Structure 1
Amino acid sequence: MKMKPLGRTGIMVSELCLGSMTWGTQNTAEEGFEQIERALDAGINFIDTAEMYPVNPVSAETIGRTERIIGLWHEDQGRREDYILATKHSGEGMMHRREGVPISSKTIPEAIDDSLRRLQTDYIDLYQFHWPNRGSYMFRKNWTFDPSDQDRASTIQDMEDCLGALQREVDRGRIRAFGLSNESAWGTTQWLEAAARTGGPRVATVQNEYSLLCRLYDTDMAEMSVNEDVGLLAFSPLAAGLLTGKYQGGNIPAGSRMDLNGDLGGRKTDRVFGAVGAYLDIAQRHGLDPVHMALGWCCTRPFMGSVILGATSADQLELALGAVDVTLSDEVLAEIDKAHRAHPMPY
């Protein structure tokens, strides 16, 4: 398992990160425990969660359950020092947390209090804002994105206020590093500049969706990442399971995300199955498992900090872990580029 720097923090994380968003809905607590232990045994030292997890669906009854599951594992195993823990502060509109108010200097201490209590730990290694207060073009909103109603001055002031609150948490030893999620190049750059002005914690990472099928990060965000040492934490690297091939031919396995969420959050389109087919063909021609190819390709990207993988079964996790042993040839990479040009932005 390769280790990579977490921005400029001095923290090193594994190139694969264990995601947890199904623990408490699609997975039991015991299955979550097993996934943690198997991942650590395989060399993963990085686990990502969020105060709003689990998903599929998000509900008032289950919100916070994933952090509690991790906390129960801490209580039982006492291995907090064995890995890097990341969680997220929910943003505006999440009505099950703080009645949906935006992230602010006032909400940060309370949110951290609650996460620390559920996680049964004294500190969070990477504290992330789940989405920007001003909105985001992620989750298929790029098709209709319109920033014209944003107020630049209030956005910058809010960033500076939040950085002040975050620095106080760093000083208290409750968080070690700060990250963003579902952010843009402009937004990330403004956070970096605000941190330089105020002395607040510098952005270490951005957690955005990224896969063979979703490559919005490849241009402006990639340039920002490389120049500013802000790595991508890629979520949905298997495109919610599409890139495994399990949904081809109209198949909808019982208990799968498509079974629970019919359009996979807008990823199920008329064009997506043709794109998936092109990548499956490449994997078959070169004797590769499509999961290994999809994850391995993400790991080759020059801006990648860590690739977040999730699993709802032990077999899925075991298969994904095998990606670290696969090296993609120049021929495979060239064919992937060709397929991307033929099937750009299928959702």
Structure 2
Amino acid sequence: MAVDTFAVEPAVQALLVDLGVTPAHVLRRAGLPQDLFSRAPVRLSADRYFALWRALEEETGDPELPLAIGRALSPEVFDPPLFAALCSPDLRTAAHRVAAYKKLIGPISLRVDETADRVRLVYRWPAALEPPPLLVVTELVFWVVLARTATRASVRPLRVTTPEPPQDTGPYRDFLGAAVERGPLPAVTFSVSDAQRPFLTADQRMWDFFQPELRRRLSELEAGASAADRVRAALLEQLPAGSAAMETVARTLAVSTRTLQRRLRSEGTTFQAVLNDTREALARHYLTHSGLTVREISFLLGYEDPNSFYRAFHAWTGRTPAQATAEVT
């Protein structure tokens, strides 16, 4: 099973109807089969999945569509990983569970950063993918809706950031209780007290029911991924934390470094080659889309010294980071 595909659950049709949208019209706009929602769960390529979201935006013409989706969300339209989150004892636990199984939905990683006073949920998309801003904002709105639905409290995030905020952020501030700010990565931050607020929907028995099936589906998904794909996915999560070590990646993938090297060799590549390719793709993305400084980018790529990033980027492309940025400005 390809790792650059997105799951589409049949329940999406119910969500569209709740939004007052005719599913057939959205599918037609997106160039997708009219019987898509009547099939068993299917997976779409990134291009076709993003086309579905863009078609939904065009069909409604609503710049506040993420908020409309947030208001329409209910357990009936949650797919299994998200419904399992609703069964969690609190938001912090739900975030860790979704982070573990997010790849069942699509090539998205979710990192949970915790400090003594806050819990931050950070999204990362593969550098080769440019998701519609609508989809990114909807992901962030979801967490606020989940927290409020499960606690029956007016939970407000401390901060919400995304690379491309909505043009009119006022309605989002009113709904979320926090401004949607421009930032290098999509992220939503909650206070520890809200992250640990008990979910009234907590159900350990339901989680025990869901977990084996989620593990099975995750195993099937990973079985279809190449070793290089799995290394790349692990690096996307670990590089921003400053780790580019093969030992760390091997530990994440639950294999020895020797086994990992052997599997990569069998695919005609090496760990260093995958690391370089991943860093180059991320560097190009950051330089052309994020507005980050070279120092910030070097840190996100796992370099301790910006000069090392300069040298590496020149070796990859024959240009300096400044020259690459100038070409798109």
TM-score of the aligned structures, taking structure 1 as reference length: 0.27
* Structure that is richer in helix per residue: 2
TM-score of the aligned structures, taking structure 2 as reference length: 0.28
* Structure that is richer in strand per residue: 1
Rg larger in structure? 2
